[in-house]
Amino acid sequence: MPQFTVEFFEDTNGESPVEDFLLSLDIKMRAKLLGLLQILQEKGNLLREPYSKHINDGIFEIRGKVGSDITRVLYFFYYDKKIILTNGFIKKTDKTPVNEVKLAKIRRKAYLDRMK
């Protein structure tokens, strides 16, 4: 079965917010998330909890935890087995912050508009 391709969302300036977020993390958390992204690339839409969870409206999260630190990266699936990473955050509450999900949807719309 062919692997999925994981891509970082890029804004109109060519900057990648998720890449910047990953680089800002401490080395253990970054290693954890990069390992999870590798698993996501292999399993794609078959990856489930505790690693990945559907949030709503086609937005998913990859879930990293090191000690008591919890980090999430939001993403969506696109044609040809592409996974687009939209944004990442350090989780401080029980629920995924609504503004992070909104941001993922805004970036998904921007990505889809560019692909037309």
pLDDT tens for residues 3-61?
A: 999 999 999 999 999 999 999 999 999 999 999 999 999 999 999 999 999 999 999 99
Per-residue pLDDT, 2: 62
d(CA 58, CA 38): 20
Average pLDDT over residues 83-103: 94
Contact 40, 51 (CB under 8 A): yes
Per-residue pLDDT, 116: 85
d(CA 30, CA 27): 5
- Give just the sign of the alpha carbon dihedral 37, 42, 45, 46: negative
